[in-house]
Amino acid sequence: MLHRVEHVMGFPVSLRVDDEDVPESAADAVFAWLREVDARFSPFKDDSEVSRYDRGELSADGLSAELREILDLCEHYRKATGGAFDVRLPGRRLDPCAVVKGWSVQRAAELLTAAGATRFVLNAGGDVVAAGGPWRVGVRHPEEADKLCTVLSLDGGAVATSARYERGDHILDGRTGRPATGLLSLTVVAPTLTEADSVATAAFAMGPEGVDWAASLAGCEVFAVDAERQVLRTPGFPAVP
């Protein structure tokens, strides 16, 4: 069994692989990839591809295939949310982190699968992609850090949560430019972490209407707590009784 924890991209990333024949090099590849992502796509690093593109030092034609894919995903969710999710807010730098995190960790999971892993869990700052479950995943209470608001069973796929408790009102509604405050937290279960993380952030930016929007997407199940402390969830959300 492999078990490793490292601090990458500004948050702790933990890996557990239960397969006995998966080599240590698989874990090495996962964390090397995440460090590469941080170097290339962080808006907080002046020499990253994202920062250079934002300053106009790179043309759209000169971007890597990976960054083009990330920006295409950002544009998809901008359109799908009517502009509520927007990584290019006026007066702010280009910040695709909401897509980069889930996209990169999903790719890391695919590296594990390619290395022969069939039962693993990769937890990136509370957002999880897993295989070969069931795995139990706790969702932090949005107002009480030492409590959970729900526990779900994840056989495979991914779960991501967007909330105000870690970084305050950091998610902005692109339609108004103001913090999204209609929800306290929103959790999405989806087939991939690329989708779960992007949808969770995009739906949170929309406010309460984002719950129905996320729930309407194929393969997505939702658990949310709104600003009135009301719990909203889809019938198929895999909560443990």
173-224 pLDDT tens trace: 999 999 999 999 999 999 999 999 999 999 999 999 999 999 999 999 999 9
Residue 134 preceded by cis peptide, ω within 30? yes
- The structure tokens listed for 139 are 């969702």
* Cα–Cα distance, 236 to 223 (Å, whole number): 10
Task: Compute φ and ψ for 139, nearest 5 degrees.
Answer: -110, 120
* Cα–Cα distance, 228 to 230 (Å, whole number): 5
Mean pLDDT, 10 residues at a time, the chain of 241 residues: 95 96 96 98 97 97 98 98 97 96 98 97 97 95 93 96 78 95 96 98 97 98 96 96 86
DSSP state of 141: -
- The structure tokens listed for 95 are 């910040």
b/e burial code for range 50-65 (CB count within 10 A of at least 16 → b): bbebbeeebeeeebee
* Cα–Cα distance, 240 to 1 (Å, whole number): 26
* Cα–Cα distance, 192 to 172 (Å, whole number): 24
- The structure tokens listed for 104 are 């990169």
